[in-house]
Amino acid sequence: MIKFPVIERQVLDLSRPRVMGILNVTPDSFYDGGKYLSETKVIERIRQIVEEGADIIDVGACSTRPGAAGVDEKEEMARLEPAVELIRKYYPNMLVSIDTYRAKIAEEINTCLGPVIVNDISGGTMDSRMFETVARMKVPYILMHIQGIPRTMQRNPVYENVVEEVKLFFKERITRLNELGFDNLILDPGFGFGKTAEHNFQLMEALDTFQELGYPVLSGISRKGMIWKTLDITPAEALNGTTVLNTVSLMKGAQLLRVHDVKEAVEAVKLFNCIHQFARF
């Protein structure tokens, strides 16, 4: 039985897959860095994500692309807070996720702007206060696997068995969170975060086995290197490949897709649901 996350006493129903649209308010994200830096552009992007049918907006204010140097806490908050405020202002019922590994940022946004989902690319490894913070706030927490840190994570990542090692990481982190009385979780295997293309495809093939851990699974492969490097194209040309792997993710049991291209992901979910209704159990 998969346990669905809860936000503001409401169950986030993932009995059918949902789509999370990406809003990067950064100058240096790998695909759309620098596109949404003015208030006008941010509002346009928020409207696009909503109108194309996303269920959640994921706001990132600190690039975590391979090789990224990161920004300090003050700068991250200066970028993040206005974007979340704009979502609250124009679409107050929209679910919001914040892409941050800093406990203080997570707490301040939740305190000042209302409950949000915390999307932590580090799985609590880059801020020792994160687990205690989300356990106290009781907001949904996306627990992602990473090997290393963004600046160095793609310098020869090594695993004996990537699937089993990611599962072991999850089991250890889940135990720690459960000991704090917290289980409001979504799991993300972290495609591209300290993994080669081969590692990523191994994780994709075994994605359905992560359901055994009892929590919903997020797939975040949108326009990533595993697609465009494999196909010898650019990130800008990787929409078709993204849709293919989003569909594979759905077939492998992913309950949440994190994407740049919302319309195409929503269409993939709709078609998947048409097929899945006839699934033989």
> What confidence tens digit (pLDDT) does each residue in 190-238 have?
999 999 999 999 999 999 999 999 999 999 999 999 999 999 999 999 9
pLDDT of residue 28: 55
Q: Looking at 258, 263, 270, 280, which residue is catalytic?
A: 258
pLDDT at residue 67, rounded to an integer: 62
65 pLDDT band, cuts 50/70/90, is low
Helix, coil or strand: residue 80? helix
pLDDT-based confidence at 153, cuts 50/70/90?
low
Take residue 164 and report the two structure tokens written for it: 């089993």
**184, 5 Cβ separation under 8 angstroms:** yes
- CA-to-CA distance for 22 and 24, rounded, in angstroms? 6
How many degrees, rounded to 5, is the angle at CA 134 between CA 128 and CA 135? 100
Give the active site residue among 45, 173, 224, 252.
Answer: 224
How confident is residue 8, by pLDDT bands cut at 50, 70 and 90?
Answer: confident
| 151 is an active site residue | no
Let me know how many helices (H) and strands (E) the chain has, helices first: 9, 10
- Please state the pTM of the whole predicted model: 0.93
Query: Would you say 209 and 171 are in contact if contact means Cβ atoms under 8 Å apart?
Result: no
Indicate the fold that domain 17-276 takes in CATH: TIM Barrel (3.20.20)
Q: Is 258 a catalytic residue?
A: yes
Q: Are 194 and 186 in contact (CB under 8 A)?
A: no
* Percent of the residues in the chain that have a pLDDT greater than 90, as a whole number: 81
Exposure b/e, 8-41, CB count within 10 A at least 16 = b: eeeebebeebbbbbbbbbbeebbbbbebbeeeee
Alpha helices in the chain (DSSP H): 39-51, 73-90, 103-113, 130-137, 162-179, 197-205, 225-231, 239-251, 262-276
- Higher pLDDT, residue 222 or 35: 222
Could you tell me which of 72, 119, 81 has the C-alpha nearest to residue 100? 119
Q: Which residue has the tokens 């697609």?
A: 227
